A = this chain, B = another copy of it.
Amino acid sequence: MPTPSTPRSDRSSSSTTKEKILDAAEELFSELGYDATSLRAVTKTAGVNLAAVNYHCGSKLGLFRAIFERRIGPLNRERLAALERARERVGEGKVIPLGEVLRAFFEAPVRMAAREDPGFRRFLRIAGRMQSASGDHANALVPVFAEVREHFHAALRAALPHLDDRDFSWRLHLLIGAMCTLFADPQRIAILSQGHCDPENPDEVLAQLIAFGKGALGAPSKEPLDEDGAAEGPA
């Protein structure tokens, strides 16, 4: 329950007006959602004048896009660089193992969120929520994820030759949905698991996402003949 009451001391002094607006908007959008956040609440939280948001960003939709412009570049760059490193590690033309591709996909957002910039955490919440949102603001950033999606789609496809196109698309979509739900509200799992899970621990989050993704994507493409569906234990 963020109250747009008093300006935050830590961001009101040494930031530009636009940065203050983006920080405040990131906070409010992440907690209330786009529609429930008013520009008045944003400017009040940022400690700037109401008219400043239209001056710097043009409109409410422009403000939303500006949030993504600030964060998505570093995130995408890091993800693609990690994939490239994995590719070089296995050698030219060889298939990158599934676990390596998944690590390259999950590691950047998890680590960047943990690197104590609270803004990035909030951004990730907004981005995760967009997976199941609609409206102009959601549509505005479909292309923003396209390049990363294409690269990882190809790498994952190569790592999963035993799946046909349909199975592969289903599982990838569901996996991205699982990730987005986690990013959209990391605290939920801490509550529902009664403390068993710690979404603040990046190593734990990463290991769980990779294990989940490997199991989900790598499962056999046809039902086994016998009944019990539990995969063979580790032994």
Interface residues of A (CB under 8 A from B): 31-33, 35-36, 97-100, 102, 128-129, 131-135, 159-160, 162, 165-167, 169-171, 173-182, 184-185, 188-189, 192-193, 196-197, 204, 207-224, 227-235
A139 to chain B, nearest CB (A): 11
- Given A97-B230, A214-B229, answer yes or no on A192-B166 (Cβ-Cβ < 8 Å): no
A232 to chain B, nearest CB (A): 8
Which 9 A-B residue pairs are closest in the complex by CB-CB distance?
A215-B219, A177-B181, A99-B229, A218-B231, A132-B184, A35-B35, A169-B193, A216-B216, A162-B233
Question: What residue in chain B is nearest A33 (Cβ atoms)?
Answer: B35
Q: Among the listed B160, B211, B222, which residue makes an inter-chain contact with A230, where contact means beta carbons less than 8 Å apart?
A: B160
A152 to chain B, nearest CB (A): 13
Q: Among the listed B36, B159, B181, B221, which residue makes an inter-chain contact with A135, where contact means beta carbons less than 8 Å apart?
A: B36
**A12 to B103 alpha-carbon distance, docked (Å):** 52
**A212 to B174 alpha-carbon distance, docked (Å):** 8
Pick 16 A–B contacts, CB within 8 A, sort by A.
A33-B134, A100-B229, A131-B185, A162-B234, A162-B235, A169-B192, A170-B189, A171-B208, A176-B181, A207-B223, A211-B221, A213-B216, A215-B218, A215-B220, A216-B219, A224-B234
Contact status B99-A132, CB under 8 Å: no
Question: What residue in chain B is nearest A30 (Cβ atoms)?
Answer: B134
Question: What residue in chain B is nearest A185 (Cβ atoms)?
Answer: B132
**A173 to B179 alpha-carbon distance, docked (Å):** 10
Q: Among the listed B33, B160, B173, B188, which residue makes an inter-chain contact with A182, where contact means beta carbons less than 8 Å apart?
A: B173
**A204 to B234 alpha-carbon distance, docked (Å):** 30
**A211 to B173 alpha-carbon distance, docked (Å):** 13
Contact status A189-B169, CB under 8 Å: yes
- Given A165-B196, A181-B181, A188-B173, answer yes or no on A97-B229 (Cβ-Cβ < 8 Å): yes
**A204 to B216 alpha-carbon distance, docked (Å):** 16
Q: Which residues on the B side are within 8 Å of A214 (C-beta)?
A: 219, 229-231
- Given A165-B196, A178-B175, answer yes or no on A228-B132 (Cβ-Cβ < 8 Å): no
Interface centre among A33, A132, A169 (most CB of B within 10 A): A132
Contact status B181-A169, CB under 8 Å: no
- Given A220-B231, A220-B233, answer yes or no on A182-B193 (Cβ-Cβ < 8 Å): no
